[in-house]
Amino acid sequence: MSGTGTIYGVGLGPGDPDLMSVKAHRLVSNATDIAYFRKSGRRGRARTSVDGLLRADVHEFAMEYPVTTEIPLDDPAYAATLKAFYEDCVEKLLAMVRAGRNVVVLCEGDPFFYGSFMHLHSRLLGHCPVEVVPGITGMSACWTATGQPITYGDDVLCVLAGTLDEESLVARMREADALVVMKLGRNLPKVRRALERAGLAERAFYVAYGAMPQQQVMPLSQKETDDAPYFSMIIVHGQGRRP
């Protein structure tokens, strides 16, 4: 190990500051150095979530994604571009650690659940101390927003990415008792078709911005448009064994 600082990957939860853990709150409010991902020209959801919590003298390192949807996900250029981006971020973080600084990396939801931090984590291990602080996931906030338990008894919960091809979505949906579909965006029409083919469309809920001020919850059948923001999911509740 080189350097004396530590990298903290801190889960901020789904967006409501009241749903942040005590440990996360302590680390964020005491941090002298923070880092966070964002799109170019945006503040970023992670950074916005900690408004009012930071020290006046905090040093901020904004890691701006070089691409989002400009390059198709299956294009080798997409992976190559992000690989170089993550490696550059790691070098800058390591320089801060080697200077004896502790860095809190702000992570939406949980750092190890579909988060960008995991791509830093794998590159940081062995080079500096790294501590991960778990957070409430966005999917937990979304199923709670529906007012119904996601699973009962022996229900099997399946979490799917909407980026999967339609046939894969249908096959996995048919095997699940309860279901969460993430990464909707432009994939919502495909996910709708898959839910219909799997016989789950009538049980499906659409939730956007769970636990945030602009939260939206409705049966998917009532959603007339196919637009879906990044912070949106499909929830299908289990119907399993109950006493």
Q: Quick one: which H or E segment has residue 22?
A: helix 22-30
pTM for the predicted model, two decimal places: 0.91
- 135 vs 23: CA distance, rounded Å: 10
- Strands 103-107 and 7-11 turn out to be parallel
* Average pLDDT in the chain: 94
Contact 51, 147 (CB under 8 A): no
In a domain, 241, yes or no: no
Residue 114 sits in the same domain as residue 176: no
> What is the arithmetic mean of pLDDT over 183-201?
97
Whether residues 121 and 69 share a domain: the answer is yes
- pLDDT value at residue 41: 86
Range of the domain at 220: 139-236
53 inside domain: yes
User: Tens of pLDDT along 142-174?
Assistant: 999 999 999 999 999 999 999 999 999 999 999
pLDDT tens for each residue of 100-149: 999 999 999 999 999 999 999 999 999 999 999 999 999 999 999 999 99
State yes or no: pLDDT of 55 exceeds 60. Answer: yes
Residue 1 pLDDT exceeds 50? no
71 pLDDT higher than 70: no
Q: What is the CATH number of the domain that holds 85?
A: 3.40.1010.10
Asked if 122 and 144 sit in the same domain, the reply is no
Task: Count up the domains in the chain and report the number.
Answer: 2
Neighbours of 230 (CB within 10 A): 15
Q: What pLDDT, on a 0 to 100 scale, did the predictor assign at position 72?
A: 61
